[in-house]
Amino acid sequence: MATASSMQQPALLLRQLTQDPVTASLLAAALATAVLMIAAVSRGGGRKPRLPPSPRGFPVIGHLHLVRPPVHRTFHDLAARLGPLMHIRLGSTHCVVASSAGVAAELIRTHEGKISERPLTAVARQFAYGDDGFAFAPYGPHWRSMKRLCMSELLGPRTVEQLRPVRRAGLVSLLQSVLHRASGAEAVDLTAALIRLSNTSIIRMMASTVPGSVTEEAQALVKAVAELVGAFNVEDYIAVCRGWDLQGLRRRAADVHRRFDALLEEMIRHKEEAREARKMRGGAEGETPEKKTATGTTTESSKDLLDILLDKLEDDAAAEVKLTRKKIKAFVIDVVTAGSDTSAAMVEWMLAELMNHPECLRKVREEVDAVVGRDRIAGEGDVASLPYLQAAYKETLRLRPAAPIAHRQSAEEMVISAAGGFTVPAGTAVFINLWSIARDPANWDAPLEFRPERFMAGGRNEALDPRGQHFQYLPFGSGRRGCPGMGLALQSVPAVVAALVQCFDWAVDGDAEKIDMEEADGLVCARKHPLLLRPSPRLSPFPAVV
């Protein structure tokens, strides 16, 4: 889950808080206390580190008044004045913002061990079951064990491949729904449809046999978690407000967490009952439809992600760090929350960019027609044979990364040579502005233009890969805290776009000639307005089997 968006609209929030007399009084007392504390510290003297340049701020709130959504654009504008590494203070939280490939490279290559932590907000801690989560877990044995499990089994190439039919089924449902709307000349809200596809697919990948009612409830709860974790919480940034829950966010989070926990228990119980029934059938009949391992668990061919986790829970001897029921539930929340809206947003951005650049759309469509044909629907297995489609996706990732800011925390003091020898103290929040870095004219020709050709053979950026090794291009982050779902996203997102442009011609609903590209506030960098398009079937007859 991204965390930079937790700073959305702080100035507006502070105005709202002061409208309530009780809250205003508490804030006034807090501000007075903080001013006295700051004065006492300033009289204390001592060596001061050479901090990066900083804009003018205020006592207590620091630079919160400067932050406007979307945050990555605010940071980009400030960096244009202050340089590639700047210091800002969000209330009581000291932060540095890196906005160049050189500074990002030094932070990750040289100081990776010092910035392996991610700050854990009050709300995120509730959904992480304290320290049992994965996304915000401290760097240590538990996190390393979960990362290895995630990369080798849960989201590794073999499991991603095995669960491809689950994702394919979701795509079939989406295409059938669009075809039905097309027959009635209706506009399709692709924003809602893609979020539904993404949520359903990842929940089914997690637990393929859960009832449909569970999937629907999970989708509603995922949305609630994203909204709560992405909300600006004053107690996370102004120390003297901690514990007050002035906005009621922790209270609301507790209710959502309770409901989500009950749903997860239902999912796990349903899975445990199914696994036990398989074992009993195997014992009574001598075999089961799925082959069994020596321990009685199902083979790889029938496993979903929850099966893999429950196997690890039962296999105490093989576990470096004992997996618990709480750790499993925390991991499920992490995966479904982080992976749902991000994939939907990337499909939407990519389709919108192609429609705003008709020549690029034509090239993608002609490539799909030439490689796949018109008697079957493009799928994930075709992506490797579609280089222009991949280039268009890479260009979308460059301009519209789903998580535009990588958020870390320094455990030790660092001196950043690439920024002029400035010091980053221990306990500082470290923001790497991936959005800004990917638009730096020092590394990109015409950086604001959508040009997939830059990633094609002979293009200047042909050799660049989005997997985190090239620091001018880090759409999934890099290093230890890089996105573990990157491999899945690189397969699934372009495949959905390929199917949508292969099967349908699309027209903007209404009088607009182009799709607006304004960004929304929130946890994921998504489009601000719903993508409403009118589809017309291209394939006749439309393939009966997708």
List the structure tokens of 52. Answer: 């990066």
List the structure tokens of 177. Answer: 């729904």
Domain of residue 474 covers 4-537
Q: What is the DSSP letter of 297?
A: P
Return the SS3 of 317: coil
Q: What is the dihedral of CA 329, 487, 451, 193, to 10 degrees?
A: -40
Burial group, residue 153, by CB count within 10 angstroms (0-12, 13-18, 19+): middle
* Number of structural domains in the chain: 1
Q: pTM, whole model, 2 decimals?
A: 0.88
| Spatial separation of the C-alpha atoms in residues 206 and 45, rounded to whole Å | 55
pLDDT in tens, the chain (546 residues): 444 444 444 544 444 544 554 444 445 444 544 444 444 444 444 567 899 999 999 998 999 999 998 999 999 999 999 999 999 999 999 999 999 999 999 999 999 999 998 888 889 889 999 888 888 888 888 898 889 888 888 889 999 999 999 999 999 999 999 999 998 888 999 999 999 999 999 999 998 877 777 778 888 898 899 888 888 888 888 888 888 888 999 999 999 999 999 999 999 998 888 888 888 887 555 444 444 433 333 344 568 999 999 998 887 655 667 889 999 999 999 988 888 789 999 999 999 999 999 999 999 999 999 999 999 999 999 999 999 999 999 999 999 999 999 999 999 999 999 989 999 999 999 999 999 999 999 999 999 999 999 999 999 999 999 999 999 999 999 999 999 999 999 999 999 999 999 999 999 998 888 999 999 887 678 999 999 999 999 998 888 655
Q: What is the dihedral of CA 64, 65, 71, 72, to 10 degrees?
A: -100
Full DSSP string of 21-44: HHHHHHHHHHHHHHHHHHHHHHHT
- The 10 Å Cβ neighbour count of residue 39 is 11
| In a domain? residue 542 | no
CA 142 to each of CA 50, 133, 135, 139, 391: distance values in angstroms, whole numbers, following the listed order: 35, 9, 11, 8, 37
Closest listed residue to residue 456, CA positions, set 517, 394, 498: 394
Facing residues of 471 across strands?
Answer: none
List the structure tokens of 134. Answer: 């994965």
Facing residues of 415 across strands?
Answer: 423
| In a domain? residue 544 | no
Quickly tell me which residue has 């233009």 as its tokens.
449
Quickly tell me which residue has 């002035």 as its tokens.
246
| In a domain? residue 206 | yes
| In a domain? residue 520 | yes
| In a domain? residue 180 | yes
| Spatial separation of the C-alpha atoms in residues 273 and 201, rounded to whole Å | 22
Q: What is the DSSP letter of 152?
A: I
150 is in an annotated binding site: no
Identify the CATH number of the domain in which residue 146 sits.
Answer: 1.10.630.10
387 close to 171: Cβ distance less than 8 angstroms: no
| In a domain? residue 543 | no
Distance of CA 273 to the CA centre of its chain: 32
Q: What is the DSSP letter of 151?
A: I
| Identity of the amino acid at 250 | R
Peptide bond into 70 cis (omega under 30): yes
| Spatial separation of the C-alpha atoms in residues 524 and 402, rounded to whole Å | 6
